[in-house]
Structure 1
């Protein structure tokens, strides 16, 4: 791209790509400036702009992405698209929803559904599964095993009532049970939540610091059956287009490398671990840590 096209972008996509590069440079070279811009006075709302649901910082609940926003990015709720005017605002939404990180979130949803199906198939429909920080549990829509009731127990756990109400209204008929439970509840109680064949968490780890993430990993691992699996995901550092989404969504997750994810296992006795691995989605945006309890 020559200097002239950089100064005068021909499309909104081109302008956003330039903004992304500028945001990344500012974030890398002057993080204090980005923080000052974030906490400054917000401009008055414009009737021409439909705002995304904003991420809320909380120890557990909606995870790294607000559950309503995830529905938009999954294409489940078309309400927002019908509210958008033609032109730049629609193009802006299209860019934000088709960038690499939202594509990775949709890929993550498909992988979680596959892992649920695999667990249920291996255990002949007798699997006990726990989802921690479930949000709206949209992987249930595309899981064959959940649709056909091929499981023994499926518990969807969240700290917030609104996501649990959505899960109940959409999936209670499948036999999925909801549990309202905070992070502290998990750390210091809820002994009945145990003996699971699969425990998974998508997005929750991105709002936890290293100590809480390590404590949660140790706690969830202890709730597995011998031979059970713990699966969690986390965005990787340095993924493309994330600077723009950070600004648009006020999204500031804890990014973790492969080694940082493996470090979350340090609180678990070595001899209790049957196997552990880290793998990535096809776009190399999201890393998954899978650890099996020996037995």
Structure 2
């Protein structure tokens, strides 16, 4: 951990001398390498403890985005309110180092991947709206559904019906209230509700889960993909994404935000697809910022 301490001390010195998001970008890259080493040697606990014991931790937790991840008011990091700091930034309420850190955490490559995901999902929805009289869409762990912000910018059409599943009732209420021009039917439940339904009661053109798979071990991930695929109409598609093992912010997230994900690469996503839907065709690709790998599976 000696190299880690040197990196943290250098970052502190540079931030005090000339506060800049570029310093935090540099630190995130250095922490990624330290995180990988700690992970390979079974020292992740020591890595997190070293980061959180350093004086930089107090500085970074002035950032409301990082603070919410660390505090987990809804029981987990990455909740819908937290992601809105990226989707709907408001930088005017902060100053000093807090502003510098916040601008960095909500605009560096991992944040760009979250914005890319919003636009990608909006594009999928729009494509099915263009090929169906009324597209049927299911969002699993739906959050605030900010992909509909991007959809609004693409079209004024509303020929789509959403079924949304989320364990957080307030997130569903936010989506229904904010996007009242769309038909949104909400269900307060975890993803396990889909797995427990032995006979699906509805089918969909598009099923997606934006960030849930970052938290799912392989067995429930495979089971959930099976349940999602069973609900696809002919010609339908499911899409899931996962942050990658080499994603830009992995070390900063684990070290200072206490935000730990289950990372996957292309081979991992291929293993999920072949275990869940061995006869189905699928596609695997990375987003443009190169931090998230996507799996699309198609129903004949």
1:70 aligns with 2:87: no
Match for residue 111 of structure 1? Answer: 120
Match for residue 255 of structure 1? Answer: 263
1:229 aligns with 2:237: yes
Match for residue 154 of structure 1? Answer: 162
1-side partners of 2:76 and 2:131: how far apart? 29
Query: Contact (CA 8 Å) 1:62, 1:134: kept in 2 or not?
Result: no
Aligned in 2, Cα 1:100/1:44: closer, same or farther, shift over 3 Å? closer
Aligned in 2, Cα 1:20/1:142: closer, same or farther, shift over 3 Å? closer
Unaligned 5+ segments in structure 2 are 1-9, 39-43
Match for residue 136 of structure 1? Answer: 144
Task: State the Cα distance separating 1:15 from its structure 2 match.
Answer: 4.1
Task: State the Cα distance separating 1:157 from its structure 2 match.
Answer: 1.3
Question: May I ask how many residue pairs the two structures share in their alignment?
Answer: 278
Task: State the Cα distance separating 1:288 from its structure 2 match.
Answer: 1.0
1:122 aligns with 2:137: no
Match for residue 208 of structure 2? Answer: 200
Query: Contact (CA 8 Å) 1:214, 1:266: kept in 2 or not?
Result: no
Task: State the Cα distance separating 1:83 from its structure 2 match.
Answer: 2.5
Task: State the Cα distance separating 1:193 from its structure 2 match.
Answer: 4.5
Query: CA offsets per residue over residues 93-141 of structure 1, 9 Å max, x none?
Result: 1111111000111011001001100011012x32111011100001112
Among 187, 193, 216, the alignment partner of 1:185 is 193
Task: State the Cα distance separating 1:202 from its structure 2 match.
Answer: 0.5
Unaligned 5+ segments in structure 1 are 1-5
Match for residue 12 of structure 1? Answer: 19
The secondary structure found in structure 2 opposite 1:225 is strand
Normalized against structure 2, the TM-score is what?
A: 0.81
1:283 aligns with 2:289: yes
Aligned in 2, Cα 1:62/1:219: closer, same or farther, shift over 3 Å? farther
Match for residue 3 of structure 1? Answer: none
Aligned in 2, Cα 1:244/1:270: closer, same or farther, shift over 3 Å? closer
Aligned in 2, Cα 1:208/1:162: closer, same or farther, shift over 3 Å? same
